[in-house]
Amino acid sequence: MGVLKFFLILDLIGILLAGLYLLSMMTKRRPKMGFYGKLGDYDYAHRGLHAIAAGIPENSLRAFRLAANNGYGAELDVHLSRDGRLVVMHDENLKRTTGVNAKISAVTTQVLNQLSLEGTKEKIPYLEEVLPLFVGKTPLLIELKTDNNNHVELTRKVTNLLKQYPDLDFMIESFDPRVLRWLKKNRPEIIRGQLSCDFFHTPNELKKPTQFLLGNMMFNFLTKPDFIAYQYEDRDCLAPGLCKKIWRPQMFYWVVRSQEDANRLAEDDDMIIFEGFAAK
């Protein structure tokens, strides 16, 4: 009898933990009438419609202009410079795309303006230079890249700038749940998304518990994202599958690199952030 009681308690604890796990990844459900109107009508070019072989670097004004002019939405990344400028670049370090080994958060506009992207004549753009390219055209998917606990300043500056473009369609996403928490509290009308992946198999400097919490989107119950953007290669992991089945959010997948994969996702009404081909 004592053994049965012991295993019954274990079962109850297991059920409780499983329930808490599912509740932690709670999201808003996919809207019945499509994904927020116009936003659901587009595929999103990852860092713009770039092709370095053609002299078009990622996250460059030329790449964004091509995306908008060809009817694509675009995904881009935003950092905060040392002097508070909104810098459009993916990496936190300038080394890969400019050859200068320095963090964006440690340099000023004076330094950034002297650099070029990937050996081309293209300069590092600022967010206020990119936004006008998409006004009245296609939507933007804006990823906020936080550093040194600057999530409040970064998010506030980006959203204040976006107020100047009332005719721009956009969403904001981030790996950092604190960004989404700030948006939920201060700008709940902005469509917000949780970025995630299998952090255990993706190079990063996070501690193991943080990798687990973020990879399983266990802060969703605090942030209530409108959509989830998960790494395509990790789509078969437990967390995105359960989240999609139980809570039914709008799903984005990144980075999709073939039309075949795009077609497969379209069958489930999933949206794509694509690269390396002209999505149809």
Residue 11 lies in a domain: no
Cα–Cα–Cα angle for 103, 105, 111, rounded to 5 degrees: 75
Q: What is the pLDDT of residue 1?
A: 53
DSSP letter (8 states) at residue 114: T
- Residue 174 sits in a domain of what CATH number? 3.20.20.190
Cβ-based neighbours of 175, under 8 Å, separated by 6 or more: 194, 195, 196, 214
Instruction: Please check whether residue 6 lies inside any domain of the structure.
Output: no
State how far the Cα of 215 lies from the Cα of 230, in Å rounded to an integer. Answer: 9
Q: Is residue 27 part of a domain?
A: no
On whether residue 241 sits in a domain, the answer given is: yes
Give dist(CA 211, CA 196) in Å, integer. Answer: 10
* Structural domain harbouring 260: 33-274
Q: pLDDT tens track of the chain, all 280 residues?
A: 577 776 677 777 778 888 899 999 999 999 988 899 899 999 999 999 999 999 999 999 999 999 999 999 999 999 999 999 999 999 999 999 999 999 999 999 999 999 999 999 999 999 999 999 999 999 999 999 999 999 999 999 999 999 999 999 999 999 999 999 999 999 999 999 999 999 999 889 899 999 999 999 999 999 999 999 999 999 999 999 999 999 999 999 999 999 999 999 999 999 999 999 999 8
Q: Kindly report the CA angle at 40 between 184 and 219, in degrees rounded to 5?
A: 30
| DSSP SS3 for 123 | strand
Give the residues across from 134 on adjacent strands: none
Give the DSSP H or E segment for 5.
helix 2-24
Confirm whether 154 is domain-assigned.
yes
Number of domains the chain contains: 1
| pTM (predicted TM-score) | 0.95
Cα separation, 97 vs 99, in Å, equals: 6
Residue 222 included in any domain = yes
In a 3-state reduction of DSSP, which class is residue 163? coil
DSSP string, 16-54: HHHHHHHHHT--PPPPTTSSTGGGGG--EEETSS-BGGG
